[in-house]
Amino acid sequence: MLAVTVLGSGIAALDATVVNIALPTIQAPTLGWSSLTVLAMAVAGALGLAAFLVWDHTAAWPMLPLGVFREWQFAATNVATFIMYAALTGATFLPPIQLQVVSGYLPLASGLALLPLTLIMLALSARSGRLATRIGPRLQMSAGPVIVGAGLALLVFSNYGSSYMVCVLPAVVVFGLGRAVTVAPLTATAMSSAPAEHSGIASAVNNDVARWAAWPGPSMGERSEWSSEPIGPPVHQPARLPPGPAASERSFARRPD
C-alpha cells in the first residue's frame, strides 16, 4: 500500500509535467507564445518536471533509476532518438499534406498512397535489426536519414495530375526504406547500451523519448508563427481535374470538380 502511494506521487508529478508542456505547444499558435496562459502552463510543466526528478531521486522505489543515464552510450542514443524521431515524424507528417494540397488527392487516397511505408517497415525492420547486430548500428544510423531525405526530395516530382506509379510510389518506397534502415538499429542500440538489469526500463525510456519527439511538429500545425501562410490552395477548395478521358479513372484519388 505504501509503495502504491509513493508511486502515485511520482505519477502525479509526471502527469503535471506532460500536460503542462504539451498544452502550451498546442495552444501557443492560437493564443500566442507570449500569452499568460501559455507561459503559466509552461512554468507549471517545468516545475512538475523538477518535482518528479526530486521525488524520483529520493524515492525508495523510483519509477526511473536516474543512474541508468550514467551510461554515456545510453544517454547519447536517446538524444539521437529524440532528434531522429522528431525529423522522421515531421517527414511522415508532410507527405499526406503534399499529396492533398499539391497533388489534389482525397484524404483517403493520400493515406492509401502511403501504405507502402507500413508494409516496408513490417517486412524489413527485423532484418535491419539483425544487420545492425552484425555490422554495428553506426552505418545504418548515418545512411538511413540520408535515404529518408532522398525520398522526400523525390516528392518534388509529384504535381497535380502526375502519375502515382511514376512520381509518388518511388518516393514513398525510398522514404520507407530509409525509415526501416534507421529505426531498428536505433532501438537495438538503446536496448543494448543499458545494464542488463535495466533492459525493461531502457526500452520504456527509449519509447517515451520517441513519443515525446513525435508531437511538437504536427501539434503546431500550419498556424505556427513560422508557417502562417498556406503552402498551396486551401484543402477545402476542390482542385479541378485536368481534361481528358483519364479524368474519370482518377476520380477516386483526385478531388472532383
Backbone angles phi, psi at 105, to 5 degrees: -70, 150
Cβ atoms 19, 45 nearer than 8 A: yes
Average pLDDT over residues 105-121: 91
Give the residue among 203, 114, 98 at the shortest CA–CA distance from 158: 98
Q: What is the mean pLDDT of the chain?
A: 78
pLDDT of residue 243 exceeding 60, the answer is no
Backbone angles phi, psi at 254, to 5 degrees: -100, 160
Cβ atoms 45, 17 nearer than 8 A: yes
pTM (2 decimals)?
Answer: 0.68
Burial 228-242, CB ≥16 within 10 A → b, else e = eeeeeeeeeeebebe
The number of beta carbons lying within 10 Å of the beta carbon of residue 49 is: 17
pLDDT of residue 116 exceeding 50, the answer is yes
User: Residue 212: what pLDDT?
Assistant: 82
